[in-house]
Amino acid sequence: MIVLGFESSCDETGVALVDAAGHAIPRLLSHALHSQIAMHQAYGGVVPELASRDHIRRALPLTEYVIKQSNLTLADVDVVAYTRGPGLAGALLVGAGVACALAAALGKPAMGVHHLEGHLLSPFLSQDPPEFPFVALLVSGGHTQLMRVDAVGSYALLGESIDDAAGEAFDKSAKLLGLPYPGGPHLAKLAEQGDAKAFNLPRPLMHSGDLNFSFSGLKTAVLTQAKKLGDQLENRKADLAASTQAAIVEVLLKKAMSAMTLTGLKRLVVAGGVGANADLRNQLNAACAKRGIRVHYPELHLCTDNGAMIALAAGMRLQAGLEALDGAYSFDVKPRWSLAELGAKSLPSAG
Ligand code: ATP
Ligand code: MG
Ligand code: FE
* Predicted ipTM of the assembly: 0.99
Helix ranges (DSSP H) in 137-232: 166-176, 183-191, 216-229
- 2-7 and 79-85 beta bridge pairing: parallel
Helix (H/G/I), strand (E/B), else coil: 290: helix
Strands (E), 74-127: 79-85, 110-114
Q: Which of 36, 281, 303, 338 to mutate to test the pocket of ligand 1 (most atoms within 8 A of CB)?
A: 303
Closest CA to 119 of 342, 334, 306: 306
Residue 275 CB partners (closer than 8 Å, separation 6+)? 137, 139, 281, 297, 298, 303
Of 159, 91, 213, 214, nearest in space to 340 by CA: 159
Ligand 2 center–CA 7 separation, angstroms = 11
How far apart are alpha carbons 288 and 296 in whole angstroms? 11
Amino acid at the residue 76: D
- Give the integer Cα–Cα distance in Å for 196 and 244: 8
What span, in angstroms and rounded, lies between the C-alpha atoms of 342 and 340? 5
Say yes or no: CB of residue 277 within 6 Å of ligand 1.
yes
Amino acid at 196: A
Rounded Cα gap, residues 289 and 328, in angstroms: 48
The whole-number average pLDDT for the span 160-188 is 97
Nearest ligand for residue 140 CA: 1
Partners of 2 in the beta sheet?
19
pLDDT at 351: 36
Instruction: Round the average pLDDT of the chain to a whole number and report it.
Output: 96
Cα(273)–Cα(225) distance, integer angstroms: 26
**Amino acid occupying residue 351:** G
Smallest-distance ligand from the CA of 35: 2
Alpha carbons 259 and 263: distance in angstroms, whole number: 6
Mean pLDDT value of segment 155-178 = 97
Residues 310 and 5 sit within 8 Å (Cβ to Cβ): yes
Residue 2 CA to residue 28 CA, distance in Å, equals: 10
| Residue 12 DSSP SS3 | strand
d(CA 9, CA 87): 5
Asked whether residue 350 carries a pLDDT value surpassing 70, the answer given is: no
Confidence (pLDDT) at 216: 96
pLDDT(349) > 90: no
Q: What is the pLDDT of residues 203-254, one digit of tens each?
A: 999 999 999 999 999 999 999 999 999 999 999 999 999 999 999 999 999 9
Ligand 1 near 142 CB (within 6 A) = yes
* Cα separation values, 138 from 82, 109, 191, 232, Å: 20, 29, 22, 36
Residue 10 pLDDT: 98
Ligand 1 neighbourhood includes 141 CB (under 6 angstroms): yes
pLDDT at 341: 85
Contact 17, 72 (CB under 8 A): yes
Question: Ligand 1: does its nearest atom lie under 6 Å from the Cβ of 85?
Answer: no
Distance CA 102, CA 341 (A): 28
Residue 30 Cβ < 6 Å to ligand 1: no
Q: Do residues 15 and 94 make contact, with C-beta atoms less than 8 angstroms apart?
A: no
94-134: per-residue pLDDT in tens?
Answer: 999 999 999 999 999 999 999 999 999 999 999 999 999 99
Q: In testing the pocket of ligand 1, which one of 305, 336, 338 has its CB within 8 Å of the most ligand atoms?
A: 305
Q: Tell me the domains of the chain and their CATH numbers.
A: 2-121+303-342 (3.30.420.40), 130-297 (3.30.420.40)
Residue 346 scores a pLDDT above 70: no
pLDDT bucket at 21, cuts 50 / 70 / 90: confident
